[in-house]
Each structure stands twice: as structure tokens, then as C-alpha cells.
């Protein structure tokens, strides 16, 4: 009889925990996510072009940061060449979608493919570039891999500035607007609910869909068997090999996947900028992506998104409000420019995170939740 009562009490406790713990927490997260999604969907109807473009830059940065976090945060492989694969995606889209001249003419070459097909092939092209480098990535780690990927930046910059028939050289090349199902995402005005939609408003929903798809896929990878293997490689590669993890193969595969995320971010950046310029895809951009994943939190999708929003929006906010901020002056007027000030700030943020917040900004919410939520209600 006592065993029966104990079993009933355990069953009741488990049922109560399920009824009052996990479902309630899951429902709160679901409602919060739904509310955030509705707000994001409504933003083009209320924000001006500056804020929409700033948001698009942040979304593109978040996609690229997710890819780098899979490589560096989850697998432990340091990459300094992320900007190279963004350039492959951006210029790959320009060359595939552009309707330029021939190699011997003045205009950069272009194949004139449909925009959606050019975008897909540009992402595949970035993955192929990562595949060519993956044998090296599969055998190196740590600072050695960082130095090897750093060489990609120098090679990429040389090609971007000198392969003028493909890249347009120093002046870059124009970007063909995206076309999908007969709809063109250009500056031609389209009125929806009495609100004029131009390229930024139209691209907003494409960017959100790309970010959502990339985040869900990366989350599935991290929570599945590949994610456990990647974490094992990061923590102890020798032990992972003993347990049956194909070390070189996993490192190479994650490098290709990270390159494809960077290619997608490059395509989106090109569409937002409407011009691809070689100066943008340099070493500074790679360092910014490393700052994103460190500040946001290594090894998590949410950390990549939070860090990308912080690093990408900071210089634009400083530029917008430079007149009202002390020690910050408008570009070209002397003093500390908004770009320099933003680098100082997120450089300081990186140091602060490394010293005091090893889990990044997302680690703060996790710590607060663990301290305030009873153990039975934690998810």
C-alpha cells in the first residue's frame, strides 16, 4: 500500500510539474516569440528608411554571425577569413544576376540569371569556396587555422581590386535587385495599406525569412547529434576521435556550412547596399564578426543574433546622433568619428565580456533566470 501511495505521489508531482512548469514556460516563450514576430512584421509600416536599413544590416550580420558561431563558438575553430566568404556571396550574386557586358567590355561581366536563382547559386558558390579550403580547415586548429584563414582576406582583397572585369575594381559594381516569383525588390514604389514600399521595405520580409530559416536550421544542428559532436571537438578533439567522431570530416563540414551562412549574409548585404565595394570586405569586417559572437555569447544562435545587433547598430546610432553625443563628431570634421567610437566601445565590450561575462550578453538572462526560477520550472 505504501508503495502504491508513493507511486501516486510521484505521478502527481510529475503531472503537476508538467502542468505548472514546462508548459507554462514554453507558453510564455511562445507568446513572447509571437509578439516579437508581429512587431517585426509591422515595422516597415512605421519606420523610416534609415531605421529599416539599419535593421537590414543587423539581420544580415546576424546570419553571418550564426555561421561563424557554428564554426568558432560550437566547434572551437578560429576563423579570421569570414569576410572573404561574405565577399564571395556578394560578388557571386552580382556576377550571376548582373546583365553587364563581356569580359572585354567596360561593364563588369554578368550572366543575367533570375535574382532568386543567382542568390541560391551565390550561397552555393560560397560553400564551394569553403569546400576548397576545408581540407586545410579539417587539419588545423586554433591560432594556426586563424592565420591560414587570414590569408584568405589578403587573397580576396587582391582579387576584388584587380579583377575589374568581374568586380568593377575600386569603384565596385552595381547590384541587380532581387526578383522572386515575378516580383522585383527594387525602389519602384508599391503602396500597401496607404504606405509606400520601396526596396528597404520589400527586402525586410525576405531578410526576416532568411534569418528565421538560418536560425532554426542552426538550432537544429546544435541540438542534434552533429551539435554534440561539434562540442566534443571544441572541448577535446582527441577524446572526440576516440569516441568515434570523424574529426577532420566534421571540421571540414562545419567550415563549409559556416561559409554558406557567410555567403547568404553577403548576398543580403549587397542587396541592401545596392553596390558591392571591395573596401567593405576587409579584415575589419572579420574582426567585427568575431566581436559579435564573443559579445553575444559563444556557441548559441541567440548569442550570435544579440551580438550582431549590438555591433552592427552601434556605429549607425552613433552616426545618427553624433551631434548630441560628447566626444563624437560627424565624419570629416575632425575628432573621433562615429566608426572609431563604435570600435572603441565594442572593443571595450569584448574585454568586459571576457573578464566578467564568459557567457556573453545572453549569459546574463540565463543567470538571472537560474537564480529567480525554482528548479522544477527551469527549462
**Model confidence over 162-206: pLDDT tens digits?**
999 889 898 889 999 998 877 888 777 777 777 778 788 889 999
Provide the pLDDT for residue 84. 96
Provide the pLDDT for residue 244. 83
Provide the pLDDT for residue 376. 52
Q: Does residue 66 lie within any of the structural domains? A: yes
Provide the pLDDT for residue 157. 94
- In this predicted model, what pLDDT tens digit does every residue of 27-77 receive, in sequence order? 777 887 888 888 888 888 888 888 999 999 999 999 999 999 999 988 889
Could you give the CA distance from residue 305 to residue 269 in angstroms, rounded to a whole number? 16
Q: Does residue 165 lie within any of the structural domains? A: yes
Evaluate if residue 15 carries a pLDDT over 70: no
Three-state SS annotation for 12-59: HHHHHHHHHCHHHHHHHHHHHHHHHHHHHHHHHHCCCHHHHHHHHHHH
Distances (CA, A) of 121 to 108, 137, 161, 182: 18, 23, 23, 18
- Please tell me the total count of domains within the chain: 1
DSSP 73: I
Inter-helix orientation angle 283-296/82-97, to 10°? 120
- List Cβ neighbours of 16 (8 Å cut-off, separation of 6 or more): none
The pairing of strands 179-180 and 183-184 is antiparallel
Asked which of 96-100, 102-106, 223-227, 363-367 is least confident by mean pLDDT, the reply is 102-106
Q: Does residue 289 lie within any of the structural domains? A: yes
Q: Does residue 88 lie within any of the structural domains? A: yes
Provide the pLDDT for residue 333. 63
Q: Does residue 61 lie within any of the structural domains? A: yes
Q: Which residue has the higher pLDDT, 326 or 222?
A: 222
Q: Does residue 253 lie within any of the structural domains? A: yes
Q: What is the mean pLDDT of the chain?
A: 83
The enclosing domain of 127 has a CATH number of 1.10.3470
DSSP 336: B
Q: Which residue has the higher pLDDT, 333 or 208?
A: 208
- In this predicted model, what pLDDT tens digit does every residue of 97-153 receive, in sequence order? 987 654 455 678 888 899 999 999 999 999 999 999 988 887 888 888 889 999 999
Q: Does residue 254 lie within any of the structural domains? A: yes
Buried b (16+ CB within 10 A) or exposed e, 173-189: bbbbbbbeeeeebbeee
Helix (H) or strand (E) holding 195: strand 195-197
Q: Does residue 376 lie within any of the structural domains? A: no
pLDDT band at 25 (very low <50, low <70, confident <90, very high): low
Half-sphere exposure of 103 (CA within 13 A, CB side): 1
Provide the pLDDT for residue 67. 95
Q: Which residue has the higher pLDDT, 91 or 248?
A: 91
Residue 74 sits in which domain range? 47-309
User: 319 near 329, Cβ under 8 Å?
Assistant: no
Q: What is residue 196's three-state secondary structure?
A: strand
Provide the pLDDT for residue 37. 85
User: 211 near 304, Cβ under 8 Å?
Assistant: no
Evaluate if residue 9 carries a pLDDT over 70: no
- CA torsion, ordered 250, 251, 256, 257, to nearest 10 deg: 70
Provide the pLDDT for residue 26. 60
The closest of 311, 370, 322, 379 to 345, measured between CA atoms, is 311
Give the number of other CB atoms < 10 A from CB of residue 14: 11
pLDDT band at 1 (very low <50, low <70, confident <90, very high): very low
Amino acid at each position: 500500500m505504501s508503495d502504491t501511495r508513493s507511486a501516486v505521489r510521484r505521478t502527481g508531482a510529475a503531472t503537476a510539474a508538467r502542468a505548472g512548469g514546462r508548459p507554462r514556460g514554453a507558453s510564455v516563450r511562445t507568446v513572447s516569440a509571437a509578439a516579437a514576430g508581429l512587431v517585426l512584421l509591422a515595422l516597415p509600416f512605421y519606420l523610416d528608411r534609415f531605421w529599416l536599413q539599419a535593421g537590414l544590416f543587423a539581420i544580415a550580420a546576424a546570419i553571418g554571425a550564426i555561421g561563424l558561431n557554428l564554426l568558432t563558438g560550437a566547434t572551437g575553430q578560429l576563423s579570421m577569413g569570414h569576410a572573404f566568404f561574405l565577399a564571395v556571396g556578394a560578388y557571386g550574386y552580382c556576377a550571376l544576376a548582373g546583365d553587364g557586358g563581356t569580359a572585354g567590355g567596360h561593364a563588369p561581366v554578368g550572366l543575367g540569371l533570375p535574382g532568386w536563382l543567382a542568390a541560391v547559386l551565390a550561397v552555393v558558390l560560397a560553400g564551394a569556396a569553403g569546400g576548397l579550403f576545408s581540407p586545410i580547415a579539417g587539419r588545423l586548429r586554433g591560432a594556426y587555422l586563424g592565420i591560414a584563414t587570414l590569408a584568405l582576406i589578403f587573397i580576396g582583397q587582391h582579387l576584388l581590386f584587380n579583377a575589374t572585369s568581374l568586380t568593377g575594381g575600386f569603384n565596385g559594381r552595381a547590384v541587380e535587385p532581387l526578383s522572386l516569383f515575378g516580383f522585383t525588390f527594387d525602389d519602384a514604389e508599391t503602396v500597401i495599406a496607404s504606405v509606400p514600399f520601396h526596396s528597404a521595405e520589400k527586402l525586410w520580409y525576405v531578410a526576416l525569412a532568411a534569418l528565421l530559416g538560418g536560425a532554426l536550421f542552426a538550432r537544429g544542428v546544435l541540438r542534434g547529434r552533429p551539435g554534440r559532436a561539434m562540442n566534443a571537438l571544441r572541448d577535446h578533439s582527441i577524446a572526440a576521435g576516440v569516441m568515434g567522431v570523424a574529426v577532420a570530416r566534421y571540421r571540414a563540414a562545419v567550415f563549409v556550412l559556416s561559409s554558406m551562412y557567410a555567403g547568404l549574409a553577403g548576398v543580403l548585404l549587397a542587396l541592401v547596399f545596392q553596390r558591392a565595394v571591395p573596401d567593405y570586405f576587409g579584415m575589419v569586417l572579420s574582426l567585427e564578426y568575431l566581436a559579435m559572437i564573443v559579445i553575444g555569447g559563444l556557441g548559441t544562435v541567440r548569442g550570435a543574433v544579440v551580438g550582431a545587433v549590438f555591433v552592427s547598430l552601434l556605429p549607425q546610432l552613433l552616426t545618427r546622433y553624433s551631434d548630441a553625443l560628447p566626444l563624437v563628431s560627424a565624419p570629416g570634421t575632425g575628432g573621433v568619428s562615429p566608426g572609431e567610437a563604435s570600435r572603441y566601445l565594442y572593443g571595450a565590450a569584448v574585454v568586459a565580456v571576457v573578464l566578467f561575462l564568459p557567457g556573453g550578453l545572453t549569459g546574463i538572462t540565463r543567470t538571472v533566470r537560474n537564480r529567480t526560477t525554482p528548479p522544477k520550472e527551469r527549462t
